[in-house]
Amino acid sequence: MTTSTPAGQSTVNLRDPAQLIAAVPCLLGFRPTDSLVVIAHGPPSGTRIGVVLRGDLPPPRYRKQLARSLVAPLLAEHALGVTLLVVRAPRHKQNSGNLVQSGLIKLVREVLDTAGIPVKHALWVPEISAGVRYRCYQDSTCSGRLPDPATTVAATVMASTGKVTFGSRGEMSRLLDPVDEAAIARRGELLDRWSESAGTGEPDLELDRDRREIVSALARSRSGVLALTDEEAARLAWALSDRRIRDDCLGLALSAGERRGHDAERLWLELVRGLPAPERAEAACLLGFSAYLRGDGAFAGMALDNALDAFPGHVLAGLLAESIQLGVPPDRLNRLVPEGGPPDWLID
Protein backbone atom coordinates (compact mmCIF):
# COMPACT_ATOMS: atom_id res chain seq x y z
CA MET A 1 0.00 0.00 0.00
CA THR A 2 1.24 3.49 -0.71
CA THR A 3 -0.69 5.37 1.92
CA SER A 4 -1.21 4.74 5.60
CA THR A 5 -3.23 7.33 7.45
CA PRO A 6 -3.73 7.14 11.22
CA ALA A 7 -7.18 7.31 12.65
CA GLY A 8 -8.55 10.79 12.94
CA GLN A 9 -10.97 12.33 15.43
CA SER A 10 -13.94 12.58 13.07
CA THR A 11 -17.14 10.67 13.82
CA VAL A 12 -18.13 8.72 10.72
CA ASN A 13 -20.86 6.05 10.65
CA LEU A 14 -19.24 2.79 9.56
CA ARG A 15 -22.70 1.33 8.96
CA ASP A 16 -23.64 3.94 6.33
CA PRO A 17 -21.76 3.10 3.11
CA ALA A 18 -22.63 6.38 1.40
CA GLN A 19 -21.36 8.53 4.26
CA LEU A 20 -18.26 6.39 4.70
CA ILE A 21 -17.30 6.52 1.02
CA ALA A 22 -17.93 10.27 0.89
CA ALA A 23 -15.64 10.75 3.89
CA VAL A 24 -12.68 8.94 2.26
CA PRO A 25 -11.15 12.06 0.60
CA CYS A 26 -11.00 13.72 4.02
CA LEU A 27 -9.59 10.61 5.66
CA LEU A 28 -6.81 10.40 3.07
CA GLY A 29 -6.35 14.11 2.40
CA PHE A 30 -7.05 13.73 -1.31
CA ARG A 31 -9.64 12.23 -3.67
CA PRO A 32 -8.42 8.76 -4.72
CA THR A 33 -8.78 7.28 -8.20
CA ASP A 34 -7.93 3.79 -9.46
CA SER A 35 -7.39 2.76 -5.85
CA LEU A 36 -8.09 0.12 -3.25
CA VAL A 37 -8.92 1.81 0.05
CA VAL A 38 -8.94 -0.29 3.22
CA ILE A 39 -10.65 1.21 6.27
CA ALA A 40 -9.94 -0.54 9.56
CA HIS A 41 -12.66 -0.92 12.19
CA GLY A 42 -10.77 0.01 15.34
CA PRO A 43 -11.05 -1.43 18.85
CA PRO A 44 -12.56 -1.73 21.33
CA SER A 45 -15.98 -1.99 19.70
CA GLY A 46 -15.18 -1.89 15.99
CA THR A 47 -17.33 1.21 15.55
CA ARG A 48 -14.54 3.75 15.08
CA ILE A 49 -12.30 4.28 12.09
CA GLY A 50 -8.78 3.00 12.58
CA VAL A 51 -5.90 3.13 10.14
CA VAL A 52 -6.84 3.93 6.52
CA LEU A 53 -4.71 2.34 3.80
CA ARG A 54 -4.67 3.13 0.09
CA GLY A 55 -2.86 1.56 -2.85
CA ASP A 56 -2.96 1.70 -6.62
CA LEU A 57 -4.96 -1.09 -8.20
CA PRO A 58 -2.36 -3.70 -9.21
CA PRO A 59 -2.14 -5.96 -12.25
CA PRO A 60 -3.56 -9.44 -11.51
CA ARG A 61 -0.09 -10.97 -10.95
CA TYR A 62 0.56 -8.57 -8.06
CA ARG A 63 -2.79 -8.89 -6.30
CA LYS A 64 -1.61 -11.44 -3.75
CA GLN A 65 1.41 -9.30 -2.91
CA LEU A 66 -0.87 -6.33 -2.28
CA ALA A 67 -3.25 -8.43 -0.17
CA ARG A 68 -0.41 -9.77 1.99
CA SER A 69 0.96 -6.26 2.54
CA LEU A 70 -2.28 -5.33 4.33
CA VAL A 71 -1.93 -7.88 7.10
CA ALA A 72 0.88 -6.34 9.19
CA PRO A 73 -0.54 -2.81 9.52
CA LEU A 74 -4.03 -4.13 10.27
CA LEU A 75 -2.75 -6.52 12.93
CA ALA A 76 -0.66 -3.70 14.44
CA GLU A 77 -3.85 -1.63 14.59
CA HIS A 78 -5.71 -4.55 16.27
CA ALA A 79 -8.39 -4.08 13.61
CA LEU A 80 -11.62 -5.90 14.38
CA GLY A 81 -12.54 -5.90 10.71
CA VAL A 82 -12.24 -3.81 7.56
CA THR A 83 -14.30 -2.15 4.89
CA LEU A 84 -12.84 -2.46 1.39
CA LEU A 85 -13.50 0.18 -1.25
CA VAL A 86 -12.53 0.04 -4.91
CA VAL A 87 -12.54 3.39 -6.70
CA ARG A 88 -12.39 2.88 -10.45
CA ALA A 89 -14.50 3.85 -13.43
CA PRO A 90 -15.49 0.81 -15.52
CA ARG A 91 -14.00 0.62 -18.99
CA HIS A 92 -17.02 -1.23 -20.34
CA LYS A 93 -20.67 -1.31 -19.39
CA GLN A 94 -21.11 -3.56 -16.37
CA ASN A 95 -23.73 -6.13 -15.61
CA SER A 96 -25.14 -6.38 -12.11
CA GLY A 97 -23.14 -9.48 -11.18
CA ASN A 98 -19.66 -8.51 -12.29
CA LEU A 99 -18.20 -5.44 -10.64
CA VAL A 100 -14.71 -4.28 -11.59
CA GLN A 101 -11.85 -5.77 -9.54
CA SER A 102 -14.03 -8.60 -8.18
CA GLY A 103 -11.01 -10.89 -8.33
CA LEU A 104 -8.96 -8.52 -6.20
CA ILE A 105 -11.71 -8.26 -3.57
CA LYS A 106 -12.05 -12.06 -3.45
CA LEU A 107 -8.30 -12.51 -2.95
CA VAL A 108 -8.00 -9.78 -0.32
CA ARG A 109 -10.92 -11.28 1.58
CA GLU A 110 -9.27 -14.72 1.58
CA VAL A 111 -5.91 -13.39 2.79
CA LEU A 112 -7.45 -11.26 5.54
CA ASP A 113 -9.78 -14.05 6.68
CA THR A 114 -6.75 -16.33 7.08
CA ALA A 115 -5.13 -13.65 9.25
CA GLY A 116 -8.25 -13.39 11.40
CA ILE A 117 -9.34 -10.01 10.02
CA PRO A 118 -12.93 -10.20 8.72
CA VAL A 119 -14.07 -8.10 5.77
CA LYS A 120 -17.25 -6.42 7.02
CA HIS A 121 -18.14 -4.73 3.76
CA ALA A 122 -16.76 -4.47 0.20
CA LEU A 123 -17.86 -1.51 -1.90
CA TRP A 124 -17.30 -0.14 -5.38
CA VAL A 125 -17.70 3.35 -6.76
CA PRO A 126 -16.47 4.80 -10.07
CA GLU A 127 -15.47 8.08 -8.43
CA ILE A 128 -16.14 9.91 -5.18
CA SER A 129 -18.45 12.75 -6.13
CA ALA A 130 -21.92 13.92 -5.16
CA GLY A 131 -24.72 11.85 -6.68
CA VAL A 132 -22.51 9.00 -7.92
CA ARG A 133 -23.96 5.54 -7.35
CA TYR A 134 -22.03 3.02 -5.24
CA ARG A 135 -22.60 -0.73 -5.21
CA CYS A 136 -21.67 -3.65 -2.98
CA TYR A 137 -19.75 -6.72 -4.10
CA GLN A 138 -21.72 -9.33 -2.19
CA ASP A 139 -25.25 -7.97 -2.30
CA SER A 140 -26.68 -6.85 -5.63
CA THR A 141 -29.51 -5.04 -3.81
CA CYS A 142 -27.05 -2.94 -1.82
CA SER A 143 -26.67 0.35 -3.65
CA GLY A 144 -27.17 4.06 -3.21
CA ARG A 145 -25.92 7.51 -4.15
CA LEU A 146 -23.17 9.49 -2.48
CA PRO A 147 -23.81 12.76 -0.69
CA ASP A 148 -21.60 15.73 -1.46
CA PRO A 149 -18.21 14.82 0.10
CA ALA A 150 -17.84 18.44 1.20
CA THR A 151 -20.87 18.09 3.51
CA THR A 152 -19.76 15.04 5.50
CA VAL A 153 -18.92 15.18 9.18
CA ALA A 154 -15.28 14.47 8.32
CA ALA A 155 -15.19 17.42 5.91
CA THR A 156 -16.66 19.71 8.54
CA VAL A 157 -14.05 18.66 11.07
CA MET A 158 -11.24 19.09 8.54
CA ALA A 159 -12.45 22.55 7.59
CA SER A 160 -12.65 23.61 11.24
CA THR A 161 -8.99 22.67 11.72
CA GLY A 162 -7.85 24.45 8.57
CA LYS A 163 -6.98 21.24 6.70
CA VAL A 164 -7.46 21.02 2.94
CA THR A 165 -8.65 18.05 0.90
CA PHE A 166 -6.94 17.92 -2.48
CA GLY A 167 -8.60 16.93 -5.72
CA SER A 168 -6.01 14.21 -6.35
CA ARG A 169 -2.83 12.68 -4.99
CA GLY A 170 -0.89 14.47 -7.73
CA GLU A 171 -2.30 17.82 -6.69
CA MET A 172 -1.16 17.20 -3.11
CA SER A 173 2.31 16.11 -4.20
CA ARG A 174 2.81 19.35 -6.14
CA LEU A 175 3.01 21.17 -2.82
CA LEU A 176 6.54 19.78 -2.59
CA ASP A 177 7.66 20.88 -6.05
CA PRO A 178 10.63 23.29 -6.27
CA VAL A 179 9.59 26.92 -6.66
CA ASP A 180 12.73 28.46 -8.20
CA GLU A 181 15.31 26.21 -9.84
CA ALA A 182 17.76 29.09 -10.32
CA ALA A 183 17.64 29.99 -6.63
CA ILE A 184 18.11 26.33 -5.69
CA ALA A 185 21.21 26.16 -7.88
CA ARG A 186 22.66 29.28 -6.27
CA ARG A 187 22.04 27.88 -2.81
CA GLY A 188 23.74 24.65 -3.78
CA GLU A 189 26.82 26.60 -4.85
CA LEU A 190 26.86 28.42 -1.50
CA LEU A 191 26.68 25.14 0.40
CA ASP A 192 29.47 23.68 -1.73
CA ARG A 193 31.73 26.63 -0.92
CA TRP A 194 30.96 26.43 2.79
CA SER A 195 31.66 22.71 2.90
CA GLU A 196 35.22 23.38 1.74
CA SER A 197 35.94 25.33 4.94
CA ALA A 198 33.89 23.13 7.28
CA GLY A 199 35.46 22.30 10.63
CA THR A 200 37.75 25.31 10.81
CA GLY A 201 35.68 27.28 13.38
CA GLU A 202 34.86 26.86 17.06
CA PRO A 203 32.33 23.96 17.32
CA ASP A 204 30.38 25.44 20.26
CA LEU A 205 30.12 28.84 18.61
CA GLU A 206 28.98 27.29 15.34
CA LEU A 207 26.34 25.18 17.11
CA ASP A 208 25.00 28.26 18.90
CA ARG A 209 24.89 30.22 15.65
CA ASP A 210 23.07 27.41 13.83
CA ARG A 211 20.50 27.15 16.61
CA ARG A 212 19.84 30.88 16.40
CA GLU A 213 19.23 30.53 12.66
CA ILE A 214 16.50 27.94 13.32
CA VAL A 215 14.85 29.95 16.12
CA SER A 216 14.83 33.12 14.01
CA ALA A 217 13.29 31.33 11.04
CA LEU A 218 10.58 29.76 13.21
CA ALA A 219 9.68 33.21 14.55
CA ARG A 220 9.40 34.52 11.00
CA SER A 221 7.24 31.55 10.04
CA ARG A 222 4.88 32.40 12.89
CA SER A 223 4.61 35.99 11.66
CA GLY A 224 3.79 34.81 8.15
CA VAL A 225 6.85 36.42 6.58
CA LEU A 226 9.02 33.59 5.32
CA ALA A 227 10.67 34.80 2.11
CA LEU A 228 14.21 33.48 2.51
CA THR A 229 17.28 34.87 0.82
CA ASP A 230 19.75 32.45 -0.72
CA GLU A 231 22.09 32.82 2.23
CA GLU A 232 19.31 32.40 4.81
CA ALA A 233 18.06 29.23 3.13
CA ALA A 234 21.57 27.83 2.87
CA ARG A 235 22.29 28.68 6.53
CA LEU A 236 19.17 26.78 7.58
CA ALA A 237 20.17 23.79 5.46
CA TRP A 238 23.62 23.89 7.06
CA ALA A 239 22.08 24.02 10.54
CA LEU A 240 19.79 21.04 9.91
CA SER A 241 22.73 19.00 8.61
CA ASP A 242 23.86 18.86 12.25
CA ARG A 243 22.10 15.74 13.53
CA ARG A 244 21.83 17.19 17.04
CA ILE A 245 19.81 20.12 15.74
CA ARG A 246 17.69 18.01 13.41
CA ASP A 247 16.84 15.52 16.15
CA ASP A 248 15.94 18.34 18.54
CA CYS A 249 13.58 19.70 15.89
CA LEU A 250 11.65 16.41 15.87
CA GLY A 251 10.17 17.55 19.19
CA LEU A 252 8.32 20.37 17.44
CA ALA A 253 5.95 17.79 15.96
CA LEU A 254 4.39 16.83 19.30
CA SER A 255 0.78 17.89 19.85
CA ALA A 256 1.74 19.67 23.07
CA GLY A 257 3.48 22.23 20.91
CA GLU A 258 0.70 22.55 18.32
CA ARG A 259 1.39 26.19 17.43
CA ARG A 260 5.11 25.53 17.23
CA GLY A 261 4.36 22.46 15.13
CA HIS A 262 2.45 24.51 12.55
CA ASP A 263 5.22 27.11 12.48
CA ALA A 264 7.80 24.39 11.96
CA GLU A 265 5.87 22.65 9.17
CA ARG A 266 5.62 25.90 7.22
CA LEU A 267 9.38 26.33 7.55
CA TRP A 268 10.19 22.72 6.59
CA LEU A 269 7.93 22.98 3.53
CA GLU A 270 9.60 26.23 2.46
CA LEU A 271 12.99 24.52 2.71
CA VAL A 272 11.88 21.39 0.85
CA ARG A 273 10.74 23.58 -2.02
CA GLY A 274 13.79 25.80 -1.94
CA LEU A 275 16.86 23.62 -1.26
CA PRO A 276 18.95 21.36 -3.48
CA ALA A 277 19.62 17.68 -3.01
CA PRO A 278 20.90 16.18 -0.78
CA GLU A 279 20.41 19.02 1.75
CA ARG A 280 16.62 19.23 1.37
CA ALA A 281 16.34 15.68 2.73
CA GLU A 282 16.58 16.88 6.36
CA ALA A 283 13.68 19.32 6.02
CA ALA A 284 11.62 16.77 4.07
CA CYS A 285 12.23 14.18 6.80
CA LEU A 286 11.09 16.62 9.52
CA LEU A 287 8.04 17.53 7.44
CA GLY A 288 7.10 13.89 6.96
CA PHE A 289 7.50 13.08 10.65
CA SER A 290 5.34 16.05 11.69
CA ALA A 291 2.64 15.26 9.12
CA TYR A 292 2.41 11.65 10.25
CA LEU A 293 2.11 12.54 13.93
CA ARG A 294 -0.80 14.86 13.19
CA GLY A 295 -2.56 12.14 11.17
CA ASP A 296 -1.73 13.02 7.56
CA GLY A 297 -0.19 9.77 6.41
CA ALA A 298 -0.60 10.52 2.70
CA PHE A 299 1.37 13.77 2.82
CA ALA A 300 3.89 12.26 5.23
CA GLY A 301 4.63 9.50 2.75
CA MET A 302 5.15 12.01 -0.04
CA ALA A 303 7.51 14.11 2.08
CA LEU A 304 9.56 11.05 3.04
CA ASP A 305 9.70 9.91 -0.58
CA ASN A 306 11.03 13.39 -1.37
CA ALA A 307 13.69 13.00 1.32
CA LEU A 308 14.79 9.62 -0.02
CA ASP A 309 14.84 10.94 -3.55
CA ALA A 310 17.19 13.72 -2.40
CA PHE A 311 19.32 11.37 -0.29
CA PRO A 312 18.60 7.66 -0.92
CA GLY A 313 20.70 6.60 2.06
CA HIS A 314 18.96 8.83 4.60
CA VAL A 315 18.57 6.53 7.60
CA LEU A 316 15.81 8.34 9.51
CA ALA A 317 13.70 8.97 6.39
CA GLY A 318 14.02 5.30 5.47
CA LEU A 319 12.94 4.14 8.91
CA LEU A 320 9.97 6.52 8.96
CA ALA A 321 8.87 5.54 5.46
CA GLU A 322 8.98 1.86 6.45
CA SER A 323 6.98 2.62 9.59
CA ILE A 324 4.26 4.28 7.51
CA GLN A 325 4.16 1.35 5.09
CA LEU A 326 3.67 -0.99 8.06
CA GLY A 327 0.98 1.23 9.58
CA VAL A 328 2.88 1.85 12.82
CA PRO A 329 0.64 4.04 15.03
CA PRO A 330 1.97 7.61 15.41
CA ASP A 331 2.18 7.40 19.19
CA ARG A 332 4.80 4.66 18.83
CA LEU A 333 7.00 7.07 16.89
CA ASN A 334 7.02 9.56 19.76
CA ARG A 335 9.99 7.67 21.16
CA LEU A 336 12.08 9.32 18.42
CA VAL A 337 11.46 12.67 20.08
CA PRO A 338 13.92 13.79 22.78
CA GLU A 339 12.41 13.11 26.20
CA GLY A 340 10.27 16.04 27.32
CA GLY A 341 9.69 17.38 23.82
CA PRO A 342 11.67 20.19 22.21
CA PRO A 343 14.67 21.42 24.21
CA ASP A 344 14.78 24.82 25.84
CA TRP A 345 16.67 26.46 23.01
CA LEU A 346 13.71 25.81 20.67
CA ILE A 347 11.02 27.08 23.06
CA ASP A 348 10.29 30.81 23.11
| pLDDT (average), residues 88-96 | 69
Residue 102 in this model has a pLDDT that exceeds 60? yes
Rounded to 5°, the CA angle 24-172-250 comes to: 95
Q: What percent of the chain has pLDDT over 70?
A: 87
Q: Is the pTM here over 0.75, yes or no? A: no
Terminal alpha carbon distance of the chain: 40
Query: Dihedral through CA 270, CA 276, CA 280, CA 281, nearest 10?
Result: 150
Residue 114 pLDDT class (50, 70, 90 cuts)? very high
| Rg of the Cα atoms in the chain | 22
- H helical segments located in 161-296: 169-173, 181-196, 203-223, 230-240, 243-250, 258-274, 280-293
Residue 9 pLDDT class (50, 70, 90 cuts)? very low
Of 172-186, 299-313, 320-334, give the lowest mean pLDDT range: 320-334
Describe the strand order of the beta sheet including 119-125 as a list of residue ranges: 3-5, 48-56, 35-42, 81-87, 119-125, 133-136, 143-145
Q: What percent of the chain has pLDDT over 90?
A: 48
Q: Using an 8 Å Cβ cutoff, are 63 and 104 in contact?
A: yes
Which of 118, 114, 1, 91 lies closest to 52, judged by CA?
1
Q: In whole angstroms, give the CA distance from residue 90 to residue 99.
A: 8
95 vs 56 pLDDT, higher one: 56
Residue 6 in this model has a pLDDT that exceeds 70? no
- Return mean pLDDT, the chain: 85
Beta bridge partners of 42: 48
